[in-house]
Amino acid sequence: MNTNQIIIITAISVGAMLVSAVLYLLKRAKRRMPENFDLMEGHEFEYYCAELLKKCGFQDVEVTRGSGDYGIDVLAEKDGVTYAIQCKCYSAPVGVKAVQEAYAGRDYYDRMVGAVLTNQYFTQPAVEAARKLRILLWDRGYLESMAEEERSF
C-alpha cells in the first residue's frame, strides 16, 4: 500500500467517524427538543398524551373512541389509582366545560380520579370548578415536565 492509499483510507475513516458523531448529536438533540403541542390536531394530541402517560409509569392506558366518550379521551391507572382524563389541545385558556366533562366522565367510567390535560393553562372559573368538583388540572407546565421526565429515561 502506498502513501496516497493510506491517506485516502484515513480520510474515509475520519469522515465516517464525523458522520457518526453528527448523527449521534442530531439524534440526541431531537430527543431534547420539546414537542410542538400547539400544532397537534385533537386526536394526535390525545394519542401523544396516552403515550406520554405510558412512558411516565401509567398502566392500562387506553384512548377512548372519538364520539360518545362522555368527554373522556384517555383511561389509565397508576399505583392502583384509576384515571379518566380529558385532553384539550387549545390555542386559548381552557374553561369550565372541560372540567365538567372530566367530572361527568370520571363517574361514567367509574374512575377514582378525573383530570384535564392541556397544552394551555386554565381560566380562573375552571380552577374554581375543578377545586369544587375534585378534578385534577394538568396544564402546559405539567405536560412539559412530563415530557422532560420521559426524555430523561
- Residue 8 confidence (pLDDT): 62
What is residue 106's predicted lDDT score, i.e. its pLDDT? 96
Q: pTM for the whole thing?
A: 0.75
Return the CATH architecture of domain 37-151: 3-Layer(aba) Sandwich (3.40)
Domain parsing of the chain, residue ranges: 1-33, 37-151
Task: Quote the pLDDT of residue 16.
Answer: 52
String of DSSP letters for 86-125: EEE--SS-B-HHHHHHHHHHHHHTT-SEEEEEESS-B-HH
pLDDT digits (tens, 9 = 90+) for 125-142: 999 999 999 999 999 999
Q: pLDDT over 90 for what percent of the chain? A: 61
Q: DSSP assignment, residue 33?
A: S
Residue ranges of the chain with per-residue pLDDT less than 50 = 14, 21-22, 25-26, 28-34
What CA–CA distance (Å, rounded) separates 149 from 65? Answer: 28
Contact 111/122 with Cβ under 8 angstroms?
no
